[in-house]
A and B are shown apart, each in its own frame.
Chain A
Amino acid sequence: MLNFRHNLIKLIPKLLKAVIAQTAPVHSALSTCYSTSLKYSFSISNTLQKVQNPNCSKYGITPAHRIHQSQLRGACSLVNSGKPLREKLMHDFELPSPLSGGKVTIVGLGHVGMACAISILSQNIASELVLVDRNPDKLRGETLDLQHGLAFVRNAQVYGDTQYSATAGSKLCIVTAGVPQGPGDSRTSLAPKNLEIFKEIIPRLVKYSPETILLIVTNPVDTLAYAAWKLSGFPANRVIGSGTNLDSSRFRFLLSQRLKVVPSICHGWIIGEHGDSSIPIWSDASLAGVRLRDVDSRVGTKKDVENWSQLHQEVVGSAQEIIKLKGYTSWGIGLSVAALTRAILENSQSSYAVSTLVQGIHDISEDVFLSVPCILGDTGVSRIILQTLNSAELADLHNCAKSLYEIQKSLHF
């Protein structure tokens, strides 16, 4: 009897190792006993006895003299029914790769960031969505709220972290963090403060995803896209500002309302600064391929009796109007960013007006970021489309580049 107990006690550490390796929940019950001092061995054997296994002897333990090293594996089956349910349900093969190509990070969970998140999630664009914010309560609350809807969309992993390590391997990083426009604020006035915030964010994103594409949304977007380019050291194709993609969609919506058709058959680019000095290219505006100016050459000019130019003024004033009415803008920019995200992740090579490095384009000499029609895909901006601009449009574009350059010069990168 003494021999049996002595052998049993010697066996306990080996059994425990095997048990702990296989059964995590049982492990927590036994871990306090792992030091295997004599006084604990009795409680271990008690615990092991409680484990039910119809294949074992009455006390749940095979007597020591019948156990050999080679039988330790069999001895582990003693605690088979203590295996977690998960292990009884599934046998693991090759676990999912961490570099899926469909991972998107969103930094900043304000109204804009969350609108981007819900638009991306509900349209099944990303296979992995990582949310990053400084505020841990907001982060956890928003993450949970999105996760609770996952059963209704195609499978995606959604998780949140205050630490940037969680963003590693992102195909695309969307930056919305920063001080938002309040009623009456110009976007430009936000530049110095948001630049300081970017100095914290951009290097961390780059550190964990050195091959990522940066999509900048924070305003003033053109200046901050330039800042992100400088701070990241990335080639310019991998740094994009959401730019006038939204202005153009607002323009197409307003066209559609006046023409009483749907927006998808109305076309027109707004380029330049995402803001007061954006430029509508009326020469290209069309309905189902029919140029408005082929039908009436006065459209968008000073001679225009129907005052189509007013549509552009409404676009410029849109954000402030919505901010006055509901406090902030969210859904429009969210859907805009989701469309850009899809183009990049799906390598669709479709065209969008986004903010890119335009030095050398249309004879612009300054190194600034502003919006022109670009082709987007898995390398970010793969091509810039060279529109045929008339002299007035070119002049506006050059003025826009100059004023953006002035703003940049005043900032400390």
Chain B
Amino acid sequence: MHDFELPSPLSGGKVTIVGLGHVGMACAISILSQNIASELVLVDRNPDKLRGETLDLQHGLAFVRNAQVYGDTQYSATAGSKLCIVTAGVPQGPGDSRTSLAPKNLEIFKEIIPRLVKYSPETILLIVTNPVDTLAYAAWKLSGFPANRVIGSGTNLDSSRFRFLLSQRLKVVPSICHGWIIGEHGDSSIPIWSDASLAGVRLRDVDSRVGTKKDVENWSQLHQEVVGSAQEIIKLKGYTSWGIGLSVAALTRAILENSQSSYAVSTLVQGIHDISEDVFLSVPCILGDTGVSRIILQTLNSAELADLHNCAKSLYEIQKSLHF
């Protein structure tokens, strides 16, 4: 070979993943196999795990569209990342609430976020570690970034779980079932039944009782199943991985490809729907190369608004108790 102009270090397609547990690696394989990033950097404190996982991914590179995959314990390798995905932290065990993980994971973030910012000052941060809304807020504070460049994976996964459960009951495929779950990624998430639809046909136009107390078919049960999903899977297989991995890959694609498509992700909602607290929680957002380019303002009824405000308040209380 004769060398000409060697590849530029700032490719626009570089993605960093911090934390190579089940969630981080599920994100990695989902991103790699879907040819989303041209460069994938893995960062973890454990050098053996780092090297093993990196090798294992690299051995599959001949089967996907070209991407560079490498790993490093040092953050200098992450320089020039378009997107940094943070999954590092203590995971939920059986019976753990997400909120109980907040103090410990905040301390871990104080190590991670400044280093990512140092090497990629223009990057977008995508926070996955739980409790994701609180930690997205923490990442925003620790990074000093404008709020559009700090995103929590939020209720994107809850919404896909919801759409899957709708699809099972209606005996159709998930892609034609639509419904947003917003608010906290956790017990107090809020299903917006007024918007739930099949191929554009609102369920409540066909039967106004859907998701209400008068509902004879008890569609509300689907939301309860969503809330209990993570714990159910953790009990059965020890952890969750594939769902969140595919969710994060979809968000990654939207950002890298500047697709301007909509996802329920955790963003700064101060001033939205008359929320006064500066908290992060999930609402439908438009994602692209600047991160969150727009927030979609749904028409919420009074009950849904009240739930949203309560959610914001309780997240604010959790934030107040933490030391940033």
A residues at B contact (CB < 8 Å): 25, 81-82, 84-86, 88-90, 114-115, 117-119, 121-123, 137-138, 140-142, 144-155, 157, 246, 248-250, 252-253, 256, 259, 261-264, 287, 318, 321-322, 324-327, 329-332, 334-336, 338-339
Contacts and interface: CB of A to CB of B under 8 A. Distances in A.
B174 A150 contact: yes
Interface in B77-133: none
A313 to B, nearest CB: 15
B265 to A, nearest CB: 13
Given A118-B245, A318-B55, A332-B57, A142 B237 contact: yes
Given A119-B33, A148-B161, A149-B245, A82 B237 contact: no
Interface stretch (B200-208, B284-292, B301-309): B200-208
A249 B237 contact: no
A137 B246 contact: no
Nearest to A337: B63
A149 B31 CA distance: 13
Contacts of B145: none
B144 interface: no
B160 A252 contact: no
Contact of B1 (A248, A259, A329, A336): A259
Contacts of A253: 58-59, 61-62
A145 B237 contact: yes
Contacts of B62: 248-249, 252-253, 263-264
Nearest to A259: B1
Nearest to A83: B207
A165 B206 CA distance: 37
Contacts of B237: 137-138, 141-142, 145
25 contacts: A89-B170, A115-B29, A118-B29, A122-B33, A122-B34, A137-B235, A137-B236, A145-B237, A145-B242, A148-B161, A148-B233, A149-B30, A150-B164, A151-B164, A151-B175, A152-B247, A253-B62, A261-B1, A263-B66, A264-B66, A318-B55, A322-B52, A331-B56, A334-B60, A335-B32
Given A321-B55, A335-B60, A86 B207 contact: no
B274 interface: no
Contacts of A141: 232-233, 235-238
B279 interface: no
A259 B1 CA distance: 9
Contacts of B59: 246, 249-250, 253, 318, 329, 331-332, 335
B250 interface: yes
Interface string B125-165: 00000000000000000000000000000000101110110
A85 B172 CA distance: 13
A22 to B, nearest CB: 15
Contact of B250 (A121, A152, A325): A152
Given A253-B61, A322-B55, A322-B56, A140 B175 contact: no
A89 B66 contact: no
Given A325-B49, A331-B56, A148 B217 contact: no
Contacts of A250: 59
Given A121-B242, A145-B242, 10 more contacts: A118-B26, A140-B236, A141-B233, A147-B243, A149-B246, A152-B250, A155-B174, A325-B52, A326-B49, A332-B60
Interface string B7-46: 0000000000000000001101110111000000000000
A148 B243 contact: yes
B243 A335 contact: no
Q: Could you say which of A148, A259, A262 has the most chain B C-beta atoms within 10 Å of its C-beta?
A: A148
A118 B249 CA distance: 12
B241 interface: yes
A321 B58 CA distance: 13
A221 B132 CA distance: 43
Interface in B181-216: 198, 201, 203, 206-207, 210, 216
A149 B242 contact: yes
Contacts of A82: 216
A330 B53 CA distance: 9
Contacts of A115: 29
Contacts of B217: 25, 84-85
Contact of B57 (A89, A147, A331): A331
B202 to A, nearest CB: 10
Given A122-B29, A152-B250, A146 B242 contact: yes
B243 A123 contact: no
Contacts of B216: 25, 82
A89 B1 contact: no
B316 interface: no
Contacts of A144: 229, 232-233, 236
Nearest to B48: A325
A266 to B, nearest CB: 8
B320 interface: no
B64 interface: yes
A332 B56 contact: yes
B323 interface: no
B242 A331 contact: no
Contacts of A335: 32-33, 59-60, 63-64
